[in-house]
Structure formats: structure tokens, C-alpha cells
Amino acid sequence: MTQPLKFYFDLLNQSSRALYIFLEASKIPFEAIPISMVKGEHLTGEFRDNVNRFRKLPAITDHGYQLSESAAIFRHLAREKLVPEHWYPRRHLGRSRTDEYLAWQQSNMTVATTDYFQQKWLVPYLQKTRPSESAVNVAGKQVEHTLNDFEQLFLNSRKFILGNNISYADLSAICEVDQTKAIGFGAFKNRNKLADWYKSVAEELGPYYKSVQKEFNAKLKLNNGQQQQGEAQAHALKQ
């Protein structure tokens, strides 16, 4: 009996959201297995022992084999499954351009958006404190710089990064932008090209994107509510 593709993810994480949308939009059958990072579920039990030795999300098992690293997972899916060509097109260097963006993303966009998310949301949530204003400012400057680079280096007068069709580069990038935008970063201030591109990508992804966004926002709010309760309890205990 063939084992179904299992996808382990946390929608608080940008690459998890990108791959989730990709799986759904490409109609690849998969079993969705949510793992909560804030509860530390990626550090224990079945996940640690039998799914991802790196203890990171996202991860998959396919035909019983384990695979981690979002870019490797994307390429595996594009290679092994039936995936619409536009996500990773062979023509006109589409694959190479997508790979170029994904490589740039790992060492630029992801670094900046992850740091901002950690300083503004994750660390305060885990430590039940308010964000450090200076740390958020420093991280915010890095995001400004990175979004300027993204706009200047990857966006053009056409709708999407590769031209008239959406690719995985767009999908991955919009989830990166959301990692800061969803927690209040003004990504579009003085960035009209970025705003136009964002609107086109969101529209093209349609309901797949909308439902994942909704769950991401719900998770942010739910955890924020718990954080405020925690702060109130800590405050009450100090009195």
C-alpha cells in the first residue's frame, strides 16, 4: 500500500504557509499534520525521532522517506508529483530564476522577516513580556532594506516575478512579506510596485491563500490573547 505524503507544518511559519498553499493549489493529495512550535511539539516525540532530525518546520515524509528544508521540499514535489508547469516553468530560464530568488530569499528575506517576527511577536509571546522597542526598530530597518532590494531586484513592470504567470517565487515571497505585514509592519509605504505585485499575487492565489491567511491571523490573535492573559497574571502576582 502506498503511504500518503505527510506534511508537517505550523502556519505561524512563512515556508509552512507557502508549501501548504502550493500543495492545495496543485491538488497534490496529502495528510496535513499541524505541529505547534510555540508548544515545542517539534522538539519532542514522533516528530523529533521519526520526522525531522533538524527539529524544524516545515517537513514531509513521502513514501516513508523524510525530507526537510522548504526549498528542497518544493523541488521534490515539483519533480515527483503532477504539478502545473507555471509554478516552476522550464521555459525561458523559469526554473533558474525561481531558484535564484529562493537562494536569495534564504539569506536575505527570510533572515530579515524572521528576526522581525521573533523580536516583535515570538520572543514577547514566549517570555510573556512586551517587545523590546530598540530590537524591533533594528529588525524593522533590516526589513525596510530587504523589501527595497526585493522590489528593485526582482519586481518589474509585469505582474509576477517571472512575467505574466505566477511561480513558486511569488508564492514564497508573499508569505515572507506577510510575516511582517500581519504584525503591523507598513510594507507598502513608498513601495507602489511591491503593493501592486502583492495584490496581483493574492488575487491569483484566491481562496487557497485567503483561508491560510485567515488561520495565520487567528493563530496570531489567539496566542496574543494568551500572552496578554499571561502578562496580566504575572502583573497580578507581582502586586
Ligand X SMILES: N[C@@H](CCC(=O)N[C@@H](CS)C(=O)NCC(=O)O)C(=O)O
Q: Which residues lie near ligand X (CB under 6 A)?
A: 13, 15, 37, 42, 55-58, 69-70
Q: How far is the CB of 70 from ligand X (least distance, A)?
A: 4
Q: Which amino acid is at 92?
A: H
Record the cell numbers describing residue 203, joined without a space. Answer: 488575487
- Rounded to whole angstroms, the Cα distance separating 222 from 107 reads 30
Contact 200, 160 (CB under 8 A): yes
Q: How far is the CB of 36 from ligand X (least distance, A)?
A: 11
Q: Which is nearer to ligand X, 51 or 201 (CB)?
A: 51
Q: Which is nearer to ligand X, 21 or 159 (CB)?
A: 21
Residue 194, strand partner residues: none
Q: Which is nearer to ligand X, 56 or 81 (CB)?
A: 56
Burial class (CB in 10 A: 0-12, 13-18, 19+), 105: buried
Q: Which is nearer to ligand X, 10 or 159 (CB)?
A: 10
Q: How far is the CB of 156 from ligand X (least distance, A)?
A: 26
Q: How far is the CB of 87 from ligand X (least distance, A)?
A: 17
- Rounded to whole angstroms, the Cα distance separating 25 from 84 reads 9
Q: Which is nearer to ligand X, 59 or 147 (CB)?
A: 59
Our CA angle for 99, 94, 169, nearest 5°, is 50
Q: How far is the CB of 54 from ligand X (least distance, A)?
A: 7
